[in-house]
A and B are shown apart, each in its own frame.
Chain A
Amino acid sequence: MKKPIAGLALAAALALPSVAVADEDAKLIINGEIELVTETEPAAHLDGALRSVRSGWTFRTTETQALQMDDFDNPGMIFVDQALDSFETVDGAAGKSCASCHEDPAEFEGLRAQLPKYNEEAGEVWTMEMYVNNCRTERMEAEAWGWKSQPMLNMNALISLQSRGMPVNVAIDGPAQSVWEQGKEMYYTRYGQLELSCANCHEDNYDNYIRADHLSQGQTNGFPVYRLKQANLITQHNRFRGCIRDTRAHTFAEGSPEFVALELYVASRGNGLSVEAPSVRN
């Protein structure tokens, strides 16, 4: 997937001797048994914008890649364990835990691959966080968790893990279409004083270096991600906020309707990639 700028790759290799370059052809096999799809054909709705759809895993160094290949090495799994405890913990006026209604987290197999999706009852597009909080406030009569609170991040990782290896398959038609269109519009908007859109870096320049950063396609199939820089799980909205802030823009808030729309659109660009949650990135 070299970009058509002659000589740059070689020049970069010479200029960046200390950077461990990712092995593009590496296969992501977890625990020696679960083989994930890290490169696939672009969905029709991408309209030729990408020649090939690649997981962020393929852009990372071999050291970072390895952390995701064994659940004992994956620091994100610690948080999954914490969520297992919290799954059983009674909270709220109704005296219920998650387990009161959901016998086993395994019953959420497949959910992450479809999110975000249109919720008929609510009449809006919902993310994992919105589903979890709806259970907490409506069924458990407990306090909603903050979007980036640790218990929310952990629960998101536990539920997402149940879909690991399944292809991302978000719906973009029907009642979700207008939200998808809104997200697409945002993806191509050049925000801030640096006037950078998502597409400027992640569509036009993926695989190129911007200073020491190896630009990926910004795919979201690995979320929630264990990010080495933060030594914690993070959400899509955390990265959206950081990226837009770094264009010297007035960013949007995590959990805002704008970021829900962007989450749907970006997820749809990765339809066909395997759910990797919790993935490991830098």
Chain B
Amino acid sequence: MKYLTTAIAALFVGGAALAGQIAPSDVVFEDGAVAQSLTGVAGDPENGKVLMNKGAGNCIACHEVTALQEWPFHGEVGPILDGAGERWSEAELRGIVSNAKVMFEGTIMPSFYKNTGYTRPGDAYTGKAAEGELAPLLTAQEVEDVVAYLMTLKYE
């Protein structure tokens, strides 16, 4: 019954959210952390690892990860993510990936699960104006997958 209600609510919210998913605007942050899974489906660390290197994730553009040395050119804009799964709780990582600006005011890090509040939002990388409702940079499940991967990063 709960799922049915959520599904109907999602339709009214704009039709973008899938059943069981928390819409970007409904994510509840507490001290920058997000305790509740965005999907209720366990994250897939293997897919999370893929997202670290490409697509809308491309986390290593800014962060170095020793475990991902198979891929070249790790950035140095953000902190090294080695040990992230020990430094942070799952809820904290979910909050940081979803919208790091809640925990770290003014951080350069893009907000990966957010879809409003932008200045001159564009249609992806075309340079043209966005039309209609924007999709977040990562889907709810992709956020869960990245978080699941980050949880595997332990100190040696």
Contact = CB atoms under 8 A, between A and B. Distances in A.
Interface string B57-87: 0101110100001001111110110000000
B73 A211 contact: yes
Contact of A12 (B64, B79, B122): B64
Contact of B122 (A209, A210, A248): A248
B40 interface: no
B121 A192 contact: yes
Nearest to A252: B120
B80 A16 contact: no
Interface stretch (B44-52, B123-131, B147-155): B123-131
Nearest to A207: B76
Interface in B103-156: 108, 110-111, 118-130, 134, 137
A18 interface: yes
B128 A250 contact: yes
Interface stretch (A32-40, A194-202, A264-272): A194-202
Nearest to A253: B127
A193 B110 CA distance: 8
A189 interface: yes
Size bracket of the B interface: 20 to 34
A133 to B, nearest CB: 24
Interface string A165-194: 000000000000000000000000111111
A241 B122 contact: no
Given A209-B73, A211-B73, A193 B60 contact: no
Contacts of A190: 119
A215 B72 CA distance: 17
Interface residues of A, number: 37
Interface string A104-133: 000000000000000000000000000000
B72 A195 contact: no
B77 A191 contact: no
B64 A11 contact: yes
Contacts of B127: 241, 244-245, 249-251
A241 B128 CA distance: 11
B111 A248 contact: no
Interface string A203-219: 01100111110010000
A15 interface: yes
A15 B74 contact: yes
A88 to B, nearest CB: 37
Interface centre among B62, B125, B126 (most CB of A within 10 A): B125
Given A210-B62, A250-B129, A196 B74 contact: no
Contacts of B118: 191-193, 195, 249
Interface in A3-41: 5, 7-9, 11-12, 15-16, 18-19
A246 interface: yes
A189 B130 CA distance: 18
A216 to B, nearest CB: 14
A193 B121 contact: yes
B60 A211 contact: yes
A16 B73 contact: yes
Given A192-B120, A193-B110, A193-B137, A246 B77 contact: no
Contacts of A192: 118-122
Closest 3 CB pairs of A and B: A245-B127, A250-B129, A212-B73
26 contacts: A5-B79, A7-B80, A11-B64, A11-B76, A11-B80, A15-B69, A15-B72, A16-B72, A16-B73, A189-B119, A190-B119, A193-B121, A193-B122, A193-B130, A194-B110, A195-B118, A196-B108, A211-B60, A211-B62, A211-B73, A211-B75, A212-B72, A249-B121, A249-B122, A250-B123, A251-B120
